């Protein structure tokens, strides 16, 4: 199974990843400056959510494409596909 992301979805994912990149850079700077622990953890949490959302968007798009393309036609293929998608979702949990 290859998860191919559509151009519009890709743009959204890249934007989320750039946002997370900025947040992570901010967290590093905050730590280097000795900022308050609560503020650091809040920013780190925001970066983590941005990364999770990007991952879920990629997986959801892949699932949508698999269903649309009929890749899940055979019951054996469907079970393999389900297991792989489940593994991907759990990797973000």
Mean pLDDT by 10 residues, the chain (93 residues): 60 89 95 95 92 84 66 62 77 74
Task: Give CA torsion, residues 31, 46, 38, 35, to 10 deg.
Answer: 20
Task: Supply the pLDDT for residue 5.
Answer: 54
Structure tokens at 88: 């991907």
Euclidean distance between CA atoms 71 and 65, whole angstroms: 8
The reported pLDDT for the residue numbered 28 is 96
Among 29, 22, 10, smallest CA distance to 50 is for 22
pTM over 0.85: no
9/24 Cα distance (integer angstroms): 22
Which residue reads 């901010």 in tokens? 26
CB 9 within 8 A of CB 57: yes
Position 3 scores a pLDDT of: 47
């Amino acid at each position: 199974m290859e998860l191919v992301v559509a151009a519009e979805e890709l743009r959204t994912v890249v934007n989320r990843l750039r946002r997370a990149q900025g947040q992570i850079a901010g967290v590093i700077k905050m730590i280097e400056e000795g900022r308050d622990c609560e503020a650091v953890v809040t920013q780190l949490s925001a970066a983590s959510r941005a990364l999770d959302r990007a991952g879920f968007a990629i997986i959801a798009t892949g699932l949508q494409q698999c269903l649309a393309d009929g890749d899940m036609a055979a019951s054996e293929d469907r079970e393999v596909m389900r297991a792989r998608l489940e593994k991907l979702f759990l990797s973000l949990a």
